[in-house]
Amino acid sequence: MRFAFALIAITMPIIGMAAQWQRYENGEDGFTVSLPVSPSKREQIVEATDTFLRTYEAVVSGDHPYKLTISVGMPRKRGYYYEKSMDAFLDAFPESMMRGASEGKLKQSRRTTFRDMPARQFRFTHLQMDHEFVSQGIVFMIDGGYIRVSSLTMADDPQGEVIHERLINSFQLRALSFLPSPSRLNDSRGVSFTPPNGWVKKSQQDPNEIATYARMTRWLDLLSTFNPAYTCRAYQEELKNLGRSIDTRSVMFSDQSAMRVLTNEMPPGYNVRLATVHYCLDSQRIGAVVFKGTAEGSIFWRYERLFEGAARTLRIQ
């Protein structure tokens, strides 16, 4: 018997178990995974938790249909950074997944780590169209939010566990890509740049601040003293005097050389170390212009490419 899932409308071709799995790269949410078909994508706001949710689904029809899902949830205001809040979220997750499932029965729920992140593995059965299905996967905490990697297979599918293990084992984190915002910042003093899509512009806090954009606890700062005598070399010396400079080199931005400095620090009141990349360009008219990108040190590698992409959009008239 061939049928589709009642929960979703299948719009892709019917494909059997022999489908050729291929690597799927996603720079927007920073992961790679092997899937039998190209996934669909949908975005929604979960009002109950005030979370922005992006879901990728690969659906295969046939005698034993199945669905593979990667969901990326990002709280819109306050993320999960402290151990207590992450524990509470992970502990409650399996029950929230089962909510609304017909005759749902929890088979497994255990704490673990996944790709070095706090995680919970879960497995439950439920009925759908009078057939028993198995939903299983891993949810893990990252970037102040979470990612769920899961499969939905028929309980009598002889390939169900093979499909699930292939999905889980293939999933890897990767660096986030820079996706430009449709709106470019044009400062009246002749400085412009394009922030990453989805980042929120914050109010000005410093007279040297041209603009600040943030996403949870990651942020971008664009700064200048608008003093022609203040150069990137002077800025570098200030960082050294503060004991923060750990790596300095020159990079080329279009036809202009820029100074790149990497620093880290443990700010008062924070329980995590922060890493910051500084890109500085000299202008004869207004002096040094500094672009800063900051993220938690443990996940800075995921944001470094995004920061560089945004910095490369910087233009000084």
- Residues in the chain, total: 317
Burial (CB < 10 A; 0-12, 13-18, 19+), residue 245, is: middle
- Exposure of 289 by Cβ count < 10 A (0-12 exposed, 13-18 middle, 19+ buried)? buried
**Alpha-helical runs (H) found in the chain:** 83-98, 160-170, 232-241, 300-311
DSSP classification of residue 196: B
Look-up of token digits 């800063």: 292
Please list, in sequence order, all residues whose beta carbon lies within 8 angstroms of the beta carbon of residue 267, skipping any fewer than 6 positions away: 274
What's the pLDDT at 243? 80
Partnered with residue 43 across adjacent β-strands are 54
pTM of structure = 0.86
**Could you identify the residue written with the tokens 């490419």?**
305
Per-residue confidence (pLDDT) for residue 254, from 0 to 100 = 77
With vertex at residue 104, the alpha carbon angle to CA 103 and CA 108, rounded to the nearest 5 degrees, is: 150
Query: Which residues, listed in sequence order, are joined to residue 114 by a DSSP beta bridge?
Result: 117
8 A C-beta contact, residue 57 and residue 72: no
Low-confidence ranges of the chain (pLDDT < 50): 1-17
